Each structure stands twice: as C-alpha cells, then as structure tokens.
Amino acid sequence: NAGVTQTPKFQVLKTGQSMTLQCAQDMNHEYMSWYRQDPGMGLRLIHYSVGAGITDQGEVPNGYNVSRSTTEDFPLRLLSAAPSQTSVYFCATSREGQADTQYFGPGTRLTVL
Amino acid sequence: GENVEQHPSTLSVQEGDSAVIKCTYSDSASNYFPWYKQELGKRPQLIIDIRSNVGEKKDQRIAVTLNKTAKHFSLHITETQPEDSAVYFCAARASGSARQLTFGSGTQLTVLP
C-alpha cells in the first residue's frame, strides 16, 4: 500500500499562475483534508472532505479550490498564485474525521515568485 | 473558534533527561487532543492522543496529561534520546459544528548527546 501520496514534491510558480496539487490515497478513508505549514504557525486547515462529492472550507480557504469526485483523490487548485501562498502543503486522510489519527502525505513545497 | 497556544517554541535537553511541552486551548468544548511529531523534512506523524474523558495516557516513554479545568494539556517525554529530536505539534478539536483540528505553533526539541 502506498498510503497517502502527493505530487509534485516541489513546485515554483510565478505570481498569477494556476496549478493543481495532487493527493491520492489507497487507505479507503472517507475523510481527506489539505493543510498548509508555515514557519511558526503550525498546520492550518485549508479545505476538507468527508466523502466523495462533499467538501467544506477550513480555516484558510481563500485562493484555493477543491473537489472530491472519488474516494481516492482530493486535488487542491490554486487559481491565481500569490507570494503569500508560498508554503509546504500537506494532504491528510483519516478514517473517522478530525477526531481520529491523521495520516499525512509527504508534502509539496511550493514557492510563488 | 479554537485557539491553541504551545510553549516553549524551542527546547534543548541532555540525553536521558525529561522534556515537557505544554499547550493551552480556548474552547472548553474541545474533546480530542493529539500530539504529532515531525522530523526534519518529513511528514507529521501521530505519537499519542487523549480524549476529554481521560486525564492521563502513557505509551512507553511518552505521556500526555489533560487538565480540563485549566484548559491545558502537556506532552512528557522521559529518558530522551537523540532520535526524539524533532518538531512536536499539539492540537485540539472542538465538538460541535466546526469540529476541526486546530494546531499549536510547534516546539523544536533538540536532545543533546
């Protein structure tokens, strides 16, 4: 089992460009979420999904879109990248939501110039 | 919403000594308190968690205590080893409609040989 995978590992964008961060899991978990990690600020929830077809906003959703067409995949889209979105992005899955073990992917380091 | 404060931001201890990291939370309805360890360049991984109906939980050299009255919880690592060096994050999850994990800002623990 691969667990939780993320692509790409690294990405550099110019301001205004768009891109999609991919997240896939083979753990058959219903709950998936996206976090961003910035120095001194811990992990902040961007968007989450409790199952295919259902998504909701987290703490810092502005500038990001998500969709969940399958249980396995939960892509994060940056619509028009800004330098403030420079961060490390982690996808996570869990069996029973936020009150359960979060299994994190390896992360994507994004730099916006 | 929930606010989680974590102290200290950095902690250095001698190998074999104990380390204590403390977190306070603001929402008295919070009922789930996990701790994650993140080694340099790696993904966060759950090391221990506690729920609001329990005051203390131990797993080998790691323990977590919860004081609901004071709204704080602590991570205790005994007999520290160099491989304990990492960033540790606490988190709290409120019950109710929000039900999102809120993370602390992290503690960089360094175990000196």
CA of A22, closest CA in chain B: separation in Å? Answer: 16
**How many residues are there in chain B?**
113
- B108 at the A interface (CB within 8 A)? no
**Residue B37 and residue B33: Cα distance in Å, rounded?**
14
Give percent of chain A with pLDDT exceeding 90: 88
pLDDT at B86 over 60: yes
Residues of A in contact with B43 (CB under 8 A): 90, 104-107
**Residue B44 and residue A74: Cα distance in Å, rounded?**
19
User: What residues are paired with A87 via a beta bridge?
Assistant: A110
Give the best residue of A44, A104, A108 to mutate against chain B (max B CB count within 10 A): A104
pLDDT tens-place string over residues B59-76: 999 999 999 999 999 999
Q: Give residue B48's pLDDT.
A: 97
Q: Give residue B99's pLDDT.
A: 65
Cα B25 to Cα A68, A113, B6, B33, B68: the distances in Å are: 32, 36, 9, 10, 10
User: How many other CB atoms are found less than 10 A from the CB of residue B90?
Assistant: 28
Outline where A13-86 has alpha helix (H).
Answer: none
Mean pLDDT of chain B: 94
pLDDT at B97 over 90: no
- The residue-averaged pLDDT of A89-99 equals 89
Q: Give residue B98's pLDDT.
A: 54
Q: What b/e sequence results for A72-95 when a residue is b if at least 16 CB atoms lie within 10 Å of its CB, and e otherwise?
A: bebbbebeebeeebbbbbbbbbbe
Judged by CB atoms within 8 Å, which residues 25-84 of A form the interface with B? 40-45, 48, 58-59
* Mean pLDDT comparison of A18-27, A50-59, A95-104, B25-34, highest-scoring range: A18-27
pLDDT tens-place string over residues A50-81: 999 999 999 899 999 999 999 999 999 999 99
**CA B80 to chain CA mean position, Å:** 15
Least confident of A66-75, B13-22, B95-104: B95-104
Half-sphere exposure of A11 (CA within 13 A, CB side): 25
Is residue B6 a contact partner of residue B90, using CB atoms and an 8 Å limit?
yes
Which amino acid appears at position A59 of this protein?
E
**Given B1, B43, B105, which is nearest A105 (Cβ)?**
B43
